[in-house]
Amino acid sequence: DNETSDSVEVQQDKLLGGLLVDGLDENSCLSRYQSAMYFHKWLSEKPSSYLISRLRTYEAQHKQCGPYTESFNKTVEQLRSGQFSETSECKYVVWISISGLGNRILTLASSFLYALLTNRVLLVDPGKDMTDLFCEPFPDASWFLPADFPLNAQFNNFSQNSDQCYGKMLKNKVVTDSTVASFVYLHILHDYDDHDKLFFCDEDQKFLRNVPWLMMKTDNYFIPSIFLMPSFEQELNDLFPNKETVFHFLGRYLFHPTNSVWGRIVRYYQAYLAKADERVGIQIRVFDTEPGPFQHVLDQILACTLKQKILPDVSYQQDAINSSVIPKSKAILMTSLNSGYFEKVRDMYWEYPTVTGEVVGIYQPSHEGYQQSQKHMHNQKAWAEMYLLSLTDVLVTSSWSTFGYVAQGLGGLKPWILYKPENRTAPNPPCRRAMSMEPCFHAPPFYDCKAKRGTDTGELVPFVRHCEDMSWGLKLV
Q: Give residues in contact with ligand GDP (CB under 6 A).
A: 99-103, 285, 335-337, 366, 368, 371, 373, 378-379, 381-382, 385, 401-403
Instruction: Tell me which residue has its CB nearest to ligand GDP.
Output: 100
What's the min distance (Å) between Cβ of 386 and ligand GDP? 8
Separation in Å, CA 22 to CA 33, 74, 152, 320: 9, 31, 33, 53
Q: How many CB atoms lie within 10 A of CB 204?
A: 17
Strands 453-454 and 447-448: antiparallel
Query: Closest CB to ligand GDP among 212 and 281?
Result: 281
Closest by CA position to 338, among listed 298, 306, 392: 298
Minimum Å distance from CB 388 to ligand GDP?
Answer: 10
Nearer to ligand GDP, 245 or 379 (CB): 379
Identity at 314, one-letter amino acid code: V
Least distance between ligand GDP and beta carbon 106 (Å)? 8
- Residue whose C-alpha is closest to residue 81's, from 215, 217, 214, 212: 212
Q: Which is nearer to ligand GDP, 314 or 406 (CB)?
A: 406
- Helix (H, G, I), strand (E, B), or coil: what is residue 468? coil
- Measure the CA–CA gap between 51 and 250, rounded to whole angstroms: 10
| Cβ closest to ligand GDP, residue 103 vs residue 258 | 103
Q: Which is nearer to ligand GDP, 305 or 402 (CB)?
A: 402
Q: Which residues pair with 363 in a beta bridge?
A: 333
Asked if residues 476 and 223 have their Cβ atoms less than 8 Å apart, the reply is yes
CB nearer to ligand GDP: give 129 or 358.
129
- The pair phi, psi for residue 97, each rounded to 5°, is -75, 115
Closest CB to ligand GDP among residues 164, 364: 364
Spatial contact of 54 and 47, defined as CB atoms under 8 Å apart: no
Give 93's DSSP letter. Answer: E
Least distance from C-beta 381 to ligand GDP, angstroms? Answer: 4
Strand pairing of 359-363 and 329-335? parallel
Q: Give the C-alpha separation, 141 to 92, whole Å.
A: 14
Which CB sits closer to ligand GDP, 103 or 245?
A: 103
Instruction: Kindly tell me which of 151 and 394 has the beta carbon lying closer to ligand GDP.
Output: 394
- Residue of 423, 396, 473 whose CA lies nearest to 288: 423
Q: For residue 43, give the 3-state DSSP assignment.
A: coil
State in angstroms the smallest separation of the CB of 266 from ligand GDP.
17
The minimum distance between CB 287 and ligand GDP, in angstroms, equals 8
Provide, rounded to whole angstroms, the least separation between the CB of residue 137 and ligand GDP. Answer: 20
Q: How far apart are CA 161 and CA 163, in angstroms?
A: 6
β partners of residue 448: 453
Measuring CA to CA, which residue among 395, 396, 408, 391 is closest to residue 270?
391
- In whole angstroms, how close is the CB of 101 to ligand GDP at the nearest point? 4
Question: Taking the complex as a whole, how short is the minimal distance between the CB of residue 140 and ligand GDP, in angstroms?
Answer: 30
By C-beta, is 371 or 455 nearer to ligand GDP? 371
Q: How far apart are CB 129 and ligand GDP at their closest, in Å?
A: 11
The dihedral through the CA atoms of 379, 440, 268, 131 has a sign that is negative
Distances (CA, A) of 48 to 19, 146, 276: 9, 33, 33
